[in-house]
């Protein structure tokens, strides 16, 4: 009963704070603004016209360079690369491309400019000239590109997985990677964010001596559990609000404030592909065989989304989020009770936060090999299982593995809460003393 009263107090006090209301609204606005602004800048950059001058000593290679909506080419009546700087200074070219006479032998061209040309420009030039040279060599060998294209085969690999009950399901690798990564990262973010709030709240009450009044009417364990669960409910409330508001603000912003309602007309496919390949996320997507400008790939992702049981994923996300939070919040609570100020927490933070960081590192491996030994064992270890298991769930996890992981998480939470309560009940009234690990061990062994 007293725990529920403290829970209600923690929840209502924090939810009614102006800072909570402001951040609940401001964070989605900032996130939506980032999404809209990034989309606007990408589309504006893709449609900003760049004029490239060409000095072609080969006399024919410039014909391979076709204009796009964003990249224009202009042939310069000049020879050699000695006067390029002078030509550049007297023109409005973004860059000047020099093609040597022996291009078919050297396979090298030079692009001169005062600023670094974008990846889209360099990729377009490189790809165009490469294709032209390949075509010329194919012609010399009496082979047509159409013949080579007709011989290419695009294989569709459907990965079928047998369940322990004899059921058959289609693996959704590409989309499962995205869903798993987002789920794991969100759990990491919220465990750390709201776990630290528990610690700071306890330090604040301890510093202000408010806890001396509270502890006279409730047991330390009841106070600790009330604060932990109350802040957990605050976190769930804010998370749900953020999801709804970010989706709503982004939809409104992209619909009414983007440069054009038809982004496909703004960005030509080759340029979009070049930009995708020029950043780490794009490289990872390309490595996974996902061409985001390919209609077939988009259709495949839509089909894969239909194969994922989002109800199950969401329910398990809530379990591992709450279980992971309760586990770490009890540890953060014990740290808050053991120190007098936030600056004193540094020596105790590393052992608590290290498993979370390790979970993020293992999460990358688990995405690539969700059934591997590393992914399995770290999804069983309670201190990393909330993050790593969340990554594996969209790929499909045997029921016994899920059950074992969930049971170990609950059991570890009970043990850590018991240990944390022994530190809490002694440390909450301890002032003016620098606490060491040896001292914490004495508090754990102390019984009364």
Token representation of residue 382: 């309670």
CA angle 226, 348, 2 (to 5 degrees): 10
Residue appearing with tokens 């016994």: 400
Q: pLDDT for 91-138, tens place per residue?
A: 888 888 888 888 878 888 888 888 777 777 888 888 888 888 888 888
Q: pLDDT for 388-438, tens place per residue?
A: 998 888 887 888 899 999 999 999 988 888 888 787 777 776 766 677 777
- Rounded Cα distance, 288 and 275, in Å: 17
Token representation of residue 377: 């064992």
Q: What is the CATH number of domain 49-150?
A: 3.40.190.10
Nearest by Cα to 154 from 284, 300, 267: 300
Cα radius of gyration (the chain): 30
The mean of the pLDDT values for the chain is 76
Token representation of residue 374: 């590393």
Choose between 37 and 402: higher pLDDT. Answer: 402
**Farthest-apart Cα atoms in the chain, separation:** 94
- Rounded Cα distance, 340 and 344, in Å: 7
- Rounded Cα distance, 407 and 257, in Å: 48
Residue 284's CB is within 10 A of a number of other CB atoms, namely 14
> pLDDT > 90: what percent of the chain?
7
- Rounded Cα distance, 379 and 370, in Å: 10
Token representation of residue 391: 């990554």
Which pLDDT belongs to residue 447? 53
- Rounded Cα distance, 199 and 13, in Å: 16
Token representation of residue 294: 């390919």
**Residue limits of CATH 3.40.190.10 in the chain:** 49-150
Instruction: Say if CB 356 and CB 387 are below 8 A apart.
Output: yes
Helix (H, G, I), strand (E, B) or coil at 215: coil
- pTM of the complete model beyond 0.85: no
Token representation of residue 132: 């032209």
Beta bridge partners of 161: 169
Instruction: Say if CB 258 and CB 36 are below 8 A apart.
Output: yes
């Amino acid at each position: 009963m007293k725990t529920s009263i403290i829970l209600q107090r923690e929840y209502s006090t924090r939810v009614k704070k102006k800072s909570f209301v402001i951040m609940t609204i401001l964070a989605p606005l900032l996130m939506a603004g980032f999404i809209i602004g990034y989309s606007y800048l990408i589309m504006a950059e893709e449609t900003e016209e760049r004029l490239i001058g060409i000095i072609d000593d080969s006399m024919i290679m410039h014909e391979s360079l076709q204009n796009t909506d964003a990249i224009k080419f202009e042939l310069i009546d000049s020879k050699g690369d000695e006067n390029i700087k002078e030509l550049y200074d007297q023109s409005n070219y973004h860059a000047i491309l020099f093609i040597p006479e022996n291009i078919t032998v050297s396979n090298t061209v030079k692009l001169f400019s005062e600023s670094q040309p974008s990846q889209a420009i360099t990729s377009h030039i490189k790809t165009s000239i490469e294709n032209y040279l390949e075509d010329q060599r194919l012609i010399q060998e009496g082979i047509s590109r159409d013949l080579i294209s007709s011989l290419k085969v695009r294989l569709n690999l459907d990965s079928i997985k047998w369940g322990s009950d004899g059921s058959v399901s289609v693996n959704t690798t590409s989309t499962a990677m995205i869903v798993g990564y987002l789920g794991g990262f969100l759990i990491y973010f919220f465990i750390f964010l709201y776990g630290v709030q528990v610690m700071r709240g306890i330090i604040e009450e301890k510093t202000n001596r408010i806890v001396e009044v509270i502890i006279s009417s409730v047991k330390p364990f009841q106070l600790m559990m009330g604060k932990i669960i109350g802040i957990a409910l605050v976190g769930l409330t804010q998370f749900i609000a953020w999801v709804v508001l970010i989706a709503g603000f982004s939809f409104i912003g992209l619909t009414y404030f983007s440069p054009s309602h038809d982004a496909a007309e703004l960005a030509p496919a080759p340029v979009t592909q070049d930009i995708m390949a020029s950043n780490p996320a794009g490289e990872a997507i390309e490595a996974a065989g996902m061409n985001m400008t390919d209609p077939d790939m988009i259709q495949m992702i839509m089909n894969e989304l239909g194969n994922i049981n989002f109800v199950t994923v969401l329910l398990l996300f809530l379990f591992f989020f709450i279980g992971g939070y309760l586990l770490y919040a009890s540890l953060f609570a014990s740290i808050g009770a053991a120190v007098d100020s936030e600056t004193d927490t540094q020596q105790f933070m590393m052992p608590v936060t290290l498993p979370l960081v390790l979970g993020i590192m293992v999460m990358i491996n688990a995405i690539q090999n969700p059934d591997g030994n590393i992914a399995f064992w770290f999804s069983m270890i309670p201190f990393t299982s909330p993050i790593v298991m969340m990554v594996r769930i969209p790929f499909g996890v045997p029921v016994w593995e899920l059950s074992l992981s969930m049971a170990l998480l609950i059991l570890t939470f009970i043990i850590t809460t018991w240990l944390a309560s022994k530190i809490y009940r002694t440390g909450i009234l301890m002032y003016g003393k620098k606490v060491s690990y040896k001292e914490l061990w004495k508090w754990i062994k102390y019984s009364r």
